Structure 1
Amino acid sequence: MVITLGALSAFGPLCLDMYLPALPQLPAALRSTEAMAQLSLTACIVGLGVGQLVVGPLSDRLGRRWPLLVGVAVFTATSIGCAVATSMPVLIGLRLLQGVAGASGIVVGRAVVADLFAGRRAAGFFSTMTVINGLAPILAPLIGGQILRWGDWRLVFWVLAGIGVALLVATALVIDETLPPRRRATGGFGALARAVGTVLGDRVTMGYVLAGTAVAAAMFGYISASPFLLQDGFSLTPQQFSLCFAANAVGIVVAGQTSAVALRRGARPLVLLTFGVVQAAAGALLLMLAVWLRWPLGPVLIGLWVLVSAVGLTLPNASALAMDRHRPVAGAASAVIGLLQFGTAGLTSQLVGFGDRGRGLALGVVAVGCVAVAGVALAMARRSAPPNDVSREPTPQT
């Protein structure tokens, strides 16, 4: 089950990273502009966030299995639509729907973990999923780069459709219902909205969520800016860019595995989250200096690696800390995490487009700003949490 959940939670990297090497092809292929091509990426990110806000609370009411199956099926259909799109506006609309559908795997996957585990066990499971999930950004840009040897950007979406079919079969065979009817939320839309409001009104929860999602937002800014920074600014080929991108994904895997091992040995999720935020700050500052002072490629790649790999520490532990506080409405809590994660990602993916994309100065400013928000949010959560809060000393549960 952990492999399937990890693969489902990788919908984000699959939608985004496999597509990146082909992004510079879109303006000429669809008679559009670089800004519109980047908007097709942003549309998918926004869809991933909004979709989680819809599917998460619905899974609290309807159960986990059917919303997940429908979402994967729609993801497959929209991938086919993207492959045959004939204009940029159509592609952008389909990418938005593809993101909404792909959100089901991310939001329901977190809720399934919350249904089954709590405390360090939940954080450990999230960390393991992050390791598995980390294979997607390693493989996706490599596959995307190789696909361009045999076809154009359309072939990337045909491959995504095939992956969607495989995940639909795996979900149907492996993922059982983890939320029995007696534990499901009742009431209509108002009750679902109140569940989301309860999560949003919890200062401690929101502090943890913002700390994790702000670091992830810096990573998504990198995802959006990196093709132009590395391919245009440093003249890397699509294949060389894919290898650099994969190296950063390896960092996420290493950090996620380190988190999982540390949790098994008694480390607290809050300590690991704090360390991840500090690491992200170090990477962002190095990146900012490198692009501002026009240093060569080496320091830029080091800064990016330190920044991006911190996601393997921040996201799983922030998710576990936040969802432990709202287990009865795990779908709503997961939706809030996803909405903020991909909503802020959509914002940063646009902000990094200002100025000279090949230089990357906007990316450096955005990265520093994101880690500053993460630090303030984490400090707020630590200050607001009572002495007996679950984050102080989580107790494993089943």
Structure 2
Amino acid sequence: MSTTTKTSLLFVLIASGTVLGIAGTDLVLPAVPSLPLQLGGSVETAQFVLAAYAFGTLIGLLIFGELGARLDPCKLFMASLALFGAASLAASASPSIEWLIALRFAQGAFGAGPAVFAPGFIQGLYAQDKAASALGRLGSIESLAPALAPIAGAYLLELGGWRLSFVLLAVLSVLIGTAVFSQRRQFPRPTRVPHGHHSYLAILRNREFISYASSQALSLGGLLVFVFGAPAVLTGPLGKGIAAFVVLQVFGIAAFILAANSSAWVARTFGTLRTIRFGTAIMPLAFLAILVYALGDGSSLYVLVPIWMAVNLGFGIRGPIGFHRAITTARGDHSRAAAIIVAAILGIAGLGTTLVAPYIAVGLWPLAIAGTTLSAIGLLSLLPLREGR
């Protein structure tokens, strides 16, 4: 097997592991509005099925981040997939909405490993000048999950009910874990972290890291709060089917992929920080446009889709290079840095989803307010930085 082929295979396995964790949310999204009828509870309670996964992932990220700095990341990668599969299978047998929420927390915690280890693996697979582009490709692949998983989830819901989605996640975790096990000797080994940077506290004292990480987390967190709440709003107060959410996501993800795959070139041409700031600035403006429209009619996809594309275009411009810049400022401690960033993203998404849940029945404007506020703070987080640092 050639070096190029080996690298491509490892990249696919790394991407598959991280996509599985994302699919843990998005594959279940179409079933969320119907869960109260199946398991009891209310529409508001059903939103905690999403929030619990986000909070569980947050805890798992911090644990795997610490373990990844001490143990073999490849072994932890495989353990994460195995535990995620077991939790998914258990969730499929949930007898009530409360049990499902609890098992979703466990599912999120166990499945957090791939997101922690992926940046370090990519840094080991590619040269420094190609790592940002590789992260862009990874982001593009990962972004397909929010677009395609709801379509698959809707089909599975019709085929065998909400439990079938969890069974599929369990099966996929076994298949991917087996493939990783077969290639375990080919995975890049972790680099040694410089003395003095062996803790989360050391990274959190790095002001440059905090600025980049905060901006990344707030920007993506605001986007996810909107995505998590959109199915319930579109199928509820706006009176549309789940297909409307799928349409919204397909066009949004297409815009993200277009921007993400050109962001490294734009950064080389105009400067990394300038590009991150530009992409970040687009997001609150687009969310504000959604808010203004939501306070009026707020129901036409012909209006919502182009504005939502602008939100995703903005994140596509800043997302891959912003994440790569934050990781590099951690001075080699990739596992902990990635854990902090992704934990912050999901913590913000989970908290935002929880705060918005009581207002989910009134329309899009609470989601738009959350998106506008979070992405605007994300832009402000970049103000202390200077190009070239």
Q: TM-score, normalised by structure 2?
A: 0.90
* Aligned residue identity for 2:176: L
* 1:243 is aligned to 2:247: yes
Q: Which residue of 2 aligns with 1:148?
A: 157
Question: Cα offset for 1:347?
Answer: 1.1
Q: Who is 2:263 aligned against? A: 259
1:210-289 equivalence runs, <5 A? 210-262=214-266, 268-289=271-292
User: Aligned partner of 1:343: which letter?
Assistant: G
Please report how far the alpha carbon of residue 266 of structure 1 lies from its aligned counterpart in structure 2 after TM superposition.
Answer: 5.0
- Superposition deviation, residue 217 in structure 1: 0.9
Aligned-pair CA distance for 1:161: 1.4
**What is the CA deviation profile of residues 245-299 of structure 1, one whole-angstrom value per residue up to 9, with x for unaligned ones?**
2222222222212224546x65543233222202212211111111122334232
Write out aligned runs for 1:358-373 (5 A).
358-373=362-377
After superposition, residues 93-132 of structure 1 pair within 5 angstroms as 93-117=102-126, 119-132=128-141
What SS is found at the alignment partner of 1:379?
A: coil
Residues 298-317 of structure 1, C-alpha deviations (whole Å, 9 max, x = no match): 32332222213433233321
State the partner residue of 1:392. Answer: none
AA aligned to 1:123 is A
Distance 1:273 1:12 in 2: 26
Contact 2:221/2:374 (8 A) holds in 1: yes
Aligned 8 A contact 1:59 1:108 in 2:
yes
Letter in 1 for 2:98: P
Does the 8 A contact of 1:40 with 1:91 survive in 2? yes
How far apart are residue 91 of structure 1 and its match? 0.9
Deviation at 1:341, TM superposition (A): 0.9
1:119 CA displacement: 5.0
Matched, 1:58 2:62: no
Match of 2:23 in 1: 14
The alpha-carbon deviation at position 31 of structure 1 amounts to 1.4
Correspondent of 1:308 among 296, 307, 312: 312
C-alpha separation between the residues in 1 aligned to 2:116 and 2:209?
17
Alpha-carbon separation, structure 1, partners of 2:126 and 2:323: 12
CA apart distance, 1:159: 1.4
- Secondary structure in structure 2 of the residue aligned to 1:61: coil
What's the CA shift string for 1:342-376, capped at 9, x where partnerless?
11111111222242534122111111101111111
Query: Quick check: 1:18–1:156 contact (8 Å CA) kept in 2?
Result: yes
CA contact (8 A) 1:211 1:314 kept: no
Q: Cα offset for 1:8?
A: 1.9
Question: Residue 95 of structure 2 aligns to which amino acid in structure 1?
Answer: T
Secondary structure in structure 1 of the residue aligned to 2:297:
coil
Gaps of 5+ in 1: 390-398
User: Residue type matched to 2:224 in 1?
Assistant: F
Classify the secondary structure of the residue corresponding to 1:183. coil
Q: 1:341 to 1:270 in 2, by over 3 A?
A: same
Partners of 1:131 and 1:378 in 2: CA distance: 24
Partner Cα distance (1:8, 1:272) in 2: 29
Aligned equivalents of 1:54, 1:118: Cα separation in 2:
28
Distance 1:201 1:101, change over 3 A: same
1:62 alignment partner, SS class:
coil
Secondary structure at the residue paired with 2:70? Answer: helix
Deviates more, 1:324-333 or 1:347-356: 347-356
Instruction: Write the deviation string for residues 102-147 of structure 1: whole angstroms up to 9, x where unpaired.
Output: 1101111122223445754222111010111122222101101111
Tell me the distance in 2 between the aligned counterparts of 1:302 and 1:388: 34
Structural RMSD (CA): 2.2
**Structure 1: distance between partners of 2:231 and 2:376:** 25
Alpha-carbon distance in structure 1 between the residues aligned to 2:135 and 2:270? 14
Q: How far apart are the structure 2 equivalents of 1:309 and 1:231?
A: 25
Distance in 2 between the 1:102 and 1:249 partners?
23
- 3-state SS in 2 of match to 1:179: coil
Question: Residue 340 of structure 1 aligns with which residue?
Answer: 344
Out of 165, 176, 179, the position equivalent to 2:189 is 179
CA contact (8 A) 1:251 1:305 kept: yes
User: What residue in structure 1 maps to residue 204 of structure 2?
Assistant: 200
Q: Distance in 2 between matches of 1:238 and 1:371?
A: 26
**1:49 CA drift (Å):** 1.6
Q: CA deviation at 1:95?
A: 0.6
Cα distance in 1 between the residues matched to 2:382 and 2:127 = 21
Partners of 1:290 and 1:101 in 2: how far apart? 39
Q: Give 1:381's aligned residue.
A: 385
Q: 1:17-36 alignment to 2 at 5 Å?
A: 17-36=26-45
Aligned to 2:6: none
- What is the letter of the counterpart of residue 77 of structure 2? L
Gaps of at least 5 residues in structure 2 are 1-9
Question: Which residue in 2 is equivalent to 1:74?
Answer: 83
